[in-house]
Every structure is written in structure tokens, then in C-alpha cells.
Amino acid sequence: MIPSLQPIYNNLRGLYNNQEFKIIEEAFLFAENKHSGQKRKSGEDYILHPLRVAIEVSKLKLDLSSVSAALLHDILEDTNTSSEELKDKFGEEVLFLVESLSHLNRLKHKANYKNKTIGRLENLRNLILSSAKDIRVILIKIIDRLDNMKALWALSPEKQVENAEETLEIFAPICRRLGFNFLGQQLEEMSFPYVYPKDFAEIKNRVNNYYYEIDKYLDEARDELANFLKQKRSKFIEIQFRKKTFFSIYKKYKKEGDFNKIYDIIALRVIVDTVADCYTTLGLVHQLWLPLPNRLKDYISLPKVNGYQAIHTTVLTNNNQIVEVQIETDLMHKNNEYGIASHWLYNLNKDTKSYTKRQNVSGLSILFKSLKNIDFQNTNSGDLYNLLVKDLLAEQIFVVTPKGDVIDLKAGSTPIDFAYKIHTSIGNNCKMAKVNHQLVTLNHKLQSGDIVEIITDRKQKPNKKWLEFAKMAGTKEKIRKELQKL
């Protein structure tokens, strides 16, 4: 074994018992032999890359087939290994995963689009369609991209920007949409300096000194809160603190337009046992520190579209510091960081009805259903970008129909967007809308948790003015098509 492999290899060994590791070790030794002598552009031995990918896949608690596929994910492309040999050695399931990953890479390399945007969006389509049958494909691909981003320095400046742009526009938003926030943050942070170098330098210079100064204060605030909760005999598992990433600050700054309006640059995270403990802790936090008005967000009662759950409150501490406090259970914390799929999706037998039901309601399934009828080759690149990056992968809200069905929409959507999301005919005949049982204008901006009811009239036809306030590209496309018929 190459000496540099040993520490990483031992790391992987430590995650499994002896029987489990024998299965993984077989895949590792096979991959090591096949990649023998191969080097990455960074100069390191090639086998280090799939080994690191396998370790990260293991941390997501996926099954042994996923870990084996991570070790073997480049073997069909970069070695003389055949599909038959792989199947005989590791079985059909591992072969399916490896072939799916290799197929994605072959499609990307074959694609010869004059417009980079179309090529990038075609790659997104292939990524999601290839993953529709099995979410493990997209998870391994995300981890593969994460490791490749760490070696971006070894590529040409042009390739650095190209890969970072694709990561920022496609891979990071997919992570967010599927609930893998921890992975999405890493991809964003690694891409930021390459895609927006000036903005990165500005944010870094502005925040670095503040971060340096605030570490000591956060320790003190954490201790103060912990002591207060103990004094009140309130149970908690752990109190963490986090500092907002540079790219997250950049996005918030672009949205708010004022650096001083970003109140969650620093945050305390209180992890407790039960949902009841979350609300008890919220009351105690407000006893200790002054809550700021209109800054309470209950994502437990109304989870985000990607499944994120927690209570957020912003407070003014006794040292006159503005801090966001996030309160969540231990299970919520795990799901919020790594996504629900990594914790329960693959604990189920793939042939059961329960597995199929959970697979169908995943964020991946929603993306797949939205993509399957799009004609990528014959759609204008600008429209494609709006449909995919600005609609499907954008920040989402959810609203509720009068029957209790939850509908996901792009943030900032209006009743017109809601109507067309329900059905084209509902949109075309939309006359009025009620939000939370009150009549509103059709350009009213919806918020997560709103109950929305559309009142239709067969005589009503789409109005050209709707295009001015419709938020979603899919809505505008349907309105335009109907206007052409009038």
C-alpha cells in the first residue's frame, strides 16, 4: 500500500466492524490495483480521491454498496475494467451505481454546446434524471464534486472558474433543496473566491476582524445561557455556536442591501431532546435576553420545503450584542445538516412500499417531475436558466390549499403562481384570491404557511399585466402561451 494512503485507509476502517469492512476492503484493493500508477492533476496518487469520497459517503450513513461504488466510481472511465468484470466482482447494485456515475461523466464530456449555460443546464438535467431511480447516485456525485473542488487550484484559471460556476449554480442549490445544508455550505464557500473574487475579498476583509473579536464573546454567551438553563433545571444536550459563512453573508447582503441589517452573522444553537423542550427553551432564552420584534421564526410548526426544522429567535444579549439563537432537537440537527435521506431513507428495504413512498416525496422526486417534460435542446438558454436555476433551485416557500395540501413555490410568488402550479386551467380562469381567508390582490406576495384559495370564473382570461408580477418562469410561460391563443 502507498504510505500516504494508510492514515486515510485507517479512517475508513474505523467506521465499520470487521465483517462490514471486508466488503469495503475488497472494493478498495480492487480500485487501488486498477488505478495503480495513475496521478491526479494535483500530483497525488489517483486512488486518494475515491478513498476520500468513500469516507465522506460513509459519514452520510449510506449502505455498503454506496461506499463500494464511491471507491469504484471512476473505474469504468479511467481504467480497462469492463462492466461484466465489475458485476461479477461486486454485483448488480454496485454496477448500477458506478455505471450511473460514469454515464453522467460521459454525457458531460460528450456535450458540445456553443452556449455554456445550455450545456450546464443539460448536465443538471442528466444529473437529476440519472438519480431519479436511486438518490444514492446524486449523493455520491455531490461528494465527488466536493473533493474535486478541494483540488481546483491544480486546474487552469479558465477551468477553475467554469467548475466553480457550475458548483455554485447547480450542485450547491441541489444540496440545499435536498436538505444537505452542510454540504451545500462547503460547496458555496469553495466556489465563492473563484466566481466572485472581488466580492469575496470585500466580505472577508469586512468580517475577518469581527470574527476574530467575537470568538471570546460567543464562548461567554454560550456559558451564560448554559448556566441559566441549568439554573432553571431545563434539559439540553449541547449548546454550539456558529459564524455565518462568507458566501451566506454575501447572499444576505445582496438581499438586504445593508450590512447592518444582517442579524444572524453569529448564532447560538441549542440542541435539546424533545419538541416540547424546544418551546420551553425558547421561553427561557427570552427571559434571559431581550427578543427583537418580528424576528421569531418557527420552522418546527412550519418546516422549510427541504425539511429543515428549528426555532429561530434574534435577541439582544446583556452585552448589547445581537445574536440569533436556533433551537432544535438532536434528530432535527442531524437532518438539518445532512438531509433526511442520509438518516432514514436507506434504513428501509428498497422493495417495500414505505421506501417507495418516501422516495416519491423527496426533494429529488419534486425536481424530477419538474424536469421530465423540458426540451433542453430547443428551449432558449435564458428560459432554461429561469426555469431551473431561478425556479427549481431557488429559495422556496410553501403554502397550503384549503384542503390542507402543501404546495411549494419560489420565494416571492403570488396567487397567480399558486393558481398555475395547481393547474393551468385554474390559472387561466383565476379571478380572485383569498389568503388566510381574506381577499387579496393577485400580485400579493405569499409567505410560507399561508392558506391560499383561488376563485375562478370561466369567463376570466389571462391578463397581460400578470406577466409583470408573476414570479415563476413556468407561470410566465403558461400565461404567454394562453395569450397567444386569444
| Residues forming the active site | 77-78
Q: Is 252 exposed, middle or buried (0-12, 13-18, 19+ CB in 10 A)?
A: middle
- Give residue 375's region: left, alpha or beta (phi > 0; psi -120 to 50): beta
Q: Which three cell numbers stand for residue 278?
A: 424546544
CA–CA separation, 74 and 50 (whole Å): 8
Place of cell 391563443: 485
DSSP per position, 203-229: HHHHHHHHHHHHHHHHHHHHHHHHHHH
DSSP per position, 418-445: HHHHH-HHHHHTEEEEEETTEEE-TTPP
Total count of residues recorded for the chain: 486
The DSSP output letter for 471 is -
Phi then psi dihedrals of residue 294, to 5 deg: 60, 25
3-state secondary structure of 303: coil
Helical segments of 232-318, H only: 246-256, 275-288
Strands 430-435 and 452-456: antiparallel
Give, in order, the Cα–Cα distances in Å from 83 to each of 244, 284, 470, 480: 45, 60, 49, 48
Contact 192, 246 (CB under 8 A): yes
CA–CA separation, 454 and 426 (whole Å): 8
- Give residue 322's region: left, alpha or beta (phi > 0; psi -120 to 50): beta
Contact 224, 319 (CB under 8 A): no
Give the contacts of 179 (CB within 8 A, at least 6 positions apart). 306, 307, 308, 335, 336, 338, 339, 340, 341, 363
Q: Is 202 exposed, middle or buried (0-12, 13-18, 19+ CB in 10 A)?
A: middle
Strands 430-435 and 396-400: unpaired
Nearest one of 245, 228, 323 to 281, comparing CA atoms: 228
The DSSP output letter for 4 is G
CA 398 from centre of chain: 16
